[in-house]
Chains A and B, each alone.
Chain A
Amino acid sequence: MSVSPPEQRIWWNEPIEKVELVWIVVAFLWGVFMFGFMIAWHFIGGQNLNKEAYRIAPSNYELKVENFARMYKVREEKGIPVVKPPGGADVYLLGRLWQWWPMLELEKGVSYRIHLSSIDLQHGFSLQPVGINIQVHPGYEHVVTLTPTESGEFGIVCNEFCGIGHHMMTGRIYVTDRKQAASDQFFAEGR
Chain B
Amino acid sequence: MTAETIAGAVGRSAVFRTCAYTGLKVDAAAQALIKANAVAAVVFLAIGGFMGLLVALTRWPAVHLLPAEWFYLVLTGHGTNVLLFWIIFFEIAVLYFASAILLNSRLAAPKFAWLGFVLMVVGAALANVTVLQGDSSVMFTSYPPMQAKPNFYLALILFAVGALIGCAVFFATLVIAREEGTYQGSIPLVTFGALTAAIIAVFTIASGAIILIPTWLWSLGLISNIDPLMYKVVWWGMGHSSQQINVSAHVAIWYMIGALVVGAKPLSEKVSRTAFLMYILFLQLASAHHLLAEPGLDASWKIVNTSYMMYLAVMGSMIHGLTVPGSIEAAQRRNGYDRGVFEWLRKAPWGNPAFSGMFLSLVFFGFIGGISGVVLGTEQLNVLMHNTIYVPGHFHGTVVAGTTLAFMAATYLVLPLIFQREIMWPGLAKWQPYLFGIGVAGIALFMMGAGILGVPRRHWDITFSDAEPSFAYSAGAFLMMGLNGLFAILAAIGGAIYVLVVVGTVLFGERITGGHRLTFPLHQGGGNAVSHYGSYGTIKLPGTIILVAIFFVSFVLYYFINWKYLSELWLFR
**Residues of chain A having any CB pair with chain B under 8 Å:** 1-9, 11-12, 14-17, 19-20, 23-24, 26-28, 30-32, 34-35, 37-39, 41-42, 45-51, 53, 77-78, 80, 103, 111, 116, 120-122, 124, 126-142, 144-150, 155, 157-164, 166-172
Question: Which residues of B are found within 8 Å of A142, using beta-carbon distances?
Answer: 295-296
- Distance in Å: Cβ of B532 to nearest Cβ of chain A: 7
Given known contacts A16-B271, A38-B379, A1 and B530 CB-to-CB distance under 8 angstroms: yes
Please tell me which one of the listed residues B270, B380, B462, B570 contacts residue A38 in the complex, with CB atoms under 8 A apart.
B380
Given known contacts A38-B378, A39-B303, A149-B571, A49 and B310 CB-to-CB distance under 8 angstroms: no
Contact B527 A121 (CB under 8 A): no
Question: Which residues of A are found within 8 Å of B535, using beta-carbon distances?
Answer: 14, 17
Contact flags B531-545 to A (C-beta < 8 A → 1, else 0): 110011101010011
Question: Which residues of B are found within 8 Å of A148, using beta-carbon distances?
Answer: 570
Query: Is B298 located at the chain interface by the 8 A CB criterion?
Result: yes
Given known contacts A6-B269, A20-B323, A35-B307, A158 and B456 CB-to-CB distance under 8 angstroms: yes
Contact A126 B310 (CB under 8 A): no
Could you jot down 13 A-B contacts, CB within 8 Å?
A: A17-B536, A26-B552, A34-B311, A121-B145, A126-B388, A131-B383, A131-B454, A132-B570, A135-B386, A145-B573, A160-B387, A167-B464, A168-B467
Question: Which residues of A are found within 8 Å of B539, using beta-carbon distances?
Answer: 17
Contact A16 B570 (CB under 8 A): no
Please tell me which one of the listed residues A6, A17, A169, A172 contacts residue B267 in the complex, with CB atoms under 8 A apart.
A17
- Distance in Å: Cβ of A133 to nearest Cβ of chain B: 4
Contact A4 B464 (CB under 8 A): no
Question: Which residues of B are found within 8 Å of A80, using beta-carbon distances?
Answer: 468-469
Query: Is B185 located at the chain interface by the 8 A CB criterion?
Result: yes
Contact B315 A47 (CB under 8 A): no
Q: How far is B527's CA from A35's CA once the two chains are assembled, in angstroms?
A: 43
Contact A5 B315 (CB under 8 A): no
Question: Which residues of B are found within 8 Å of A132, using beta-carbon distances?
Answer: 383-384, 569-570, 572
Given known contacts A20-B326, A138-B228, A167 and B572 CB-to-CB distance under 8 angstroms: no
Contact B467 A170 (CB under 8 A): yes
Given known contacts A3-B260, A14-B270, A48-B572, A34 and B456 CB-to-CB distance under 8 angstroms: no
Selected interface stretch from B125-133, B339-347, B491-499, B559-567: B559-567
Q: How far is B573's CA from A47's CA once the two chains are assembled, in angstroms?
A: 6
Q: How far is B539's CA from A15's CA once the two chains are assembled, in angstroms?
A: 13
Q: Is the interface of A mostly helix, strand, loop or mixed?
A: mixed
Q: How far is B264's CA from A67's CA once the two chains are assembled, in angstroms?
A: 70
Contact B292 A2 (CB under 8 A): no
Question: Which residues of A are found within 8 Å of B567, using beta-carbon distances?
Answer: 45-47
Please tell me which one of the listed residues A6, A42, A120 contacts residue B145 in the complex, with CB atoms under 8 A apart.
A120
Question: Which residues of B are found within 8 Å of A138, using beta-carbon distances?
Answer: 145, 228
Q: How far is B388's CA from A2's CA once the two chains are assembled, in angstroms?
A: 39
- Distance in Å: Cβ of B258 to nearest Cβ of chain A: 6
* B66-112 with Cβ < 8 A to chain A: 68-69, 72, 102
Query: Is B195 located at the chain interface by the 8 A CB criterion?
Result: no
Please tell me which one of the listed residues B269, B385, B570 contacts residue A133 in the complex, with CB atoms under 8 A apart.
B385
Q: How far is B294's CA from A116's CA once the two chains are assembled, in angstroms?
A: 11
**Residues of chain B having any CB pair with chain A under 8 Å:** 22, 68-69, 72, 102, 139, 143, 145-146, 183-190, 227-229, 255-256, 258-260, 263-271, 292-299, 303, 306-307, 310-312, 314-315, 318-319, 322-323, 326-327, 374, 378-380, 383-388, 452-454, 456-462, 464, 466-471, 473-474, 527-528, 530-532, 535-537, 539, 541, 544-545, 548, 552, 555-556, 559, 563, 565-567, 569-573
Question: Which residues of A are found within 8 Å of B572, using beta-carbon distances?
Answer: 46-50, 132, 144-147
Question: Which residues of B are found within 8 Å of A5, using beta-carbon distances?
Answer: 183-188
Contact A166 B460 (CB under 8 A): yes
Contact A121 B146 (CB under 8 A): yes
Q: How far is B569's CA from A127's CA once the two chains are assembled, in angstroms?
A: 10
Residue from A23, A127, A141, A145 having most chain B Cβ neighbours under 10 A: A23
User: How many pairs of A and B residues are in contact by the CB < 8 Å rule?
Assistant: 319
Contact B454 A137 (CB under 8 A): no
- Distance in Å: Cβ of A150 to nearest Cβ of chain B: 8
Contact A20 B190 (CB under 8 A): no
- Distance in Å: Cβ of A137 to nearest Cβ of chain B: 5
Please tell me which one of the listed residues B268, B306, B318, B380 contacts residue A14 in the complex, with CB atoms under 8 A apart.
B268
- Distance in Å: Cβ of A20 to nearest Cβ of chain B: 5
Question: Which residues of B are found within 8 Å of A161, using beta-carbon distances?
Answer: 72, 139, 146, 458-459
Q: How far is B573's CA from A145's CA once the two chains are assembled, in angstroms?
A: 5
Contact A164 B68 (CB under 8 A): yes
Contact B454 A128 (CB under 8 A): yes
- Distance in Å: Cβ of B55 to nearest Cβ of chain A: 13
Contact B378 A23 (CB under 8 A): no
Given known contacts A34-B311, A80-B469, A170-B469, A146 and B270 CB-to-CB distance under 8 angstroms: no
- Distance in Å: Cβ of A145 to nearest Cβ of chain B: 5
Contact A47 B387 (CB under 8 A): no
Contact A2 B327 (CB under 8 A): yes
Contact B470 A49 (CB under 8 A): no
Question: Which residues of A are found within 8 Å of B454, using beta-carbon distances?
Answer: 126, 128-129, 131, 157
Q: How far is B295's CA from A51's CA once the two chains are assembled, in angstroms?
A: 6
Contact A34 B323 (CB under 8 A): no
Residue from B271, B298, B327, B565 having most chain A Cβ neighbours under 10 A: B271
Question: Which residues of B are found within 8 Å of A144, using beta-carbon distances?
Answer: 572-573
Given known contacts A147-B571, A170-B468, A23 and B318 CB-to-CB distance under 8 angstroms: yes
Contact A137 B228 (CB under 8 A): yes
Q: How far is B474's CA from A150's CA once the two chains are assembled, in angstroms?
A: 18
Contact A131 B384 (CB under 8 A): yes
- Distance in Å: Cβ of B162 to nearest Cβ of chain A: 27
Please tell me which one of the listed residues A19, A126, A169 contacts residue B387 in the complex, with CB atoms under 8 A apart.
A126
Q: How far is B380's CA from A45's CA once the two chains are assembled, in angstroms?
A: 9
Given known contacts A51-B296, A134-B293, A159 and B145 CB-to-CB distance under 8 angstroms: no
- Distance in Å: Cβ of B288 to nearest Cβ of chain A: 12
Given known contacts A126-B388, A145-B572, A170 and B470 CB-to-CB distance under 8 angstroms: yes
Q: How far is B458's CA from A26's CA once the two chains are assembled, in angstroms?
A: 38
- Distance in Å: Cβ of B448 to nearest Cβ of chain A: 13
Which residue in chain A gives the minimum CB-CB distance to B463?
A: A167
